[in-house]
Amino acid sequence: MTALLKNSFKDMDRVRSFVTEEEFKRLEAGIFAGKYIVVPSFVDVHVHFREPGFFYKESILTGSTAAAHAGYSHVMPMPNLNPVPDSKEHLKEELDIIERDAVINVIPYGSITVGEKGKELADLEGMAPDVCAFSDDGVGLNDPELMKEAMRRAKALGKLVVAHCEDLELRAGGYIHDGKYARLNGHKGICSESEWKPIERDLKLAEETGAGYHVCHISTKESVQVIREAKARGVNVTCETAPHYLVLNDMCLREDGRYKMNPPIRSEEDRLALIEGLKDGTIDCIATDHAPHSAEEKSRGLKDSAMGIVGLETAFPVIYSCLVMEGIIGLDKVVELMSVNPRKRFGLEPADETKDFAVWELEEEYAIDPEKFLTKGRATPFDDWKVQGRCVLNVVNDKVVWKDEIL
């Protein structure tokens, strides 16, 4: 714990400048007692803030405020918006809102294809200066020649291609994992091959082009293995997974839309393979795929609810409580996965140099209550879970963006 604090935050005097003297003394005592930790603020490379186009689900203001509450300094919203940021002009609509409303650093993606339709490459060159990377997240890009050309152009621009890997033909209308729960309850399943086969294809293209390639929200044991093998061959690939894939399996599902997301929660065997991928470095980042929807859109059960759950405000508490406290991974590893690695891969200021920091209280247990979220979304499978880990202070760009009343 002391080593983590020393490496993550070198100047305790910076804490003093953002709190009262009484608060500082309490924090200082708590830090040495192991009650509090100070870490570089987190980076989420995969969120959905829904604006422009779907303000009723989330906005840049509510999404970035939720991220501030959750200890993040940077978030990267995906381009499934209206209009899709597929040109400099369309991107400007999103950038203007970010400039006006964001309370932390919000760096958008540009789409790979026009309208995310998978038919024609977007204006990658025009958007490159203002985006973190290129992605058609929400849909898979199933044309290998178009993907290869996107990789070539992205490489020339010094940008990553970030892929939602899904073969819709193999998905075949499924909406939860093709596993035991689906069979027992008469649901249409999504096979694992619909995820790992497109990854396998793209890895060959990345190897051929030399492009930087990042895989979104992996959920299957086969995905872990093909990425592990590609890394061993020297392919320029990284990947992410999300907390719900690390702590839940398909037998945890309920007939409720808050358990529905894409890709789906998969088998226990898949979950354990993801854990091993964290441990051996195959998986580089923990992202949230924070994807808010309206209450009505999530009230239609597993079959008919919209796909997506909120995740920013539960990410660290769930990971800390279920993985760190259980001795599965260490706290240093969590900081690596949630701050160090995403900063490195997406070209941000390194974690050991950033002035952004968050203070977390680790000892007090509480129940996750979606009604206390700052996001507009409420759908989470972690409703009423007993967890530990509460962000009490988050400082970004030399400003306090979140301070908890318990501090």
Catalytic positions: 289
| Alpha carbon distance 240, 274 (integer Å) | 10
Q: Cβ distance 313 to 302 under 8 Å?
A: no
| Alpha carbon distance 263, 49 (integer Å) | 19
In order of 40, 284, 288, the CA distances from 336 in angstroms are 10, 8, 15
Q: Cβ distance 184 to 237 under 8 Å?
A: no
| Alpha carbon distance 385, 311 (integer Å) | 14
| Alpha carbon distance 381, 287 (integer Å) | 16
In order of 81, 171, 191, 205, the CA distances from 306 in angstroms are 15, 16, 19, 32
Residue type at 133?
A
Place of tokens 């923990």: 286
Helical segments of 234-385, H only: 243-247, 268-280, 301-304, 315-319, 331-335, 341-345
Instruction: Report residue 293 as tokens.
Output: 């929807």
CA 155 to chain centre: 23
Helical segments of 282-355, H only: 301-304, 315-319, 331-335, 341-345
Bridge partner list, 391: 360
Choose among 226, 376, 396: nearest CA to 308.
Answer: 376
Cβ neighbours for 188, distance < 8 A, ≥ 6 positions apart: 172, 173, 174, 175, 176, 182, 303
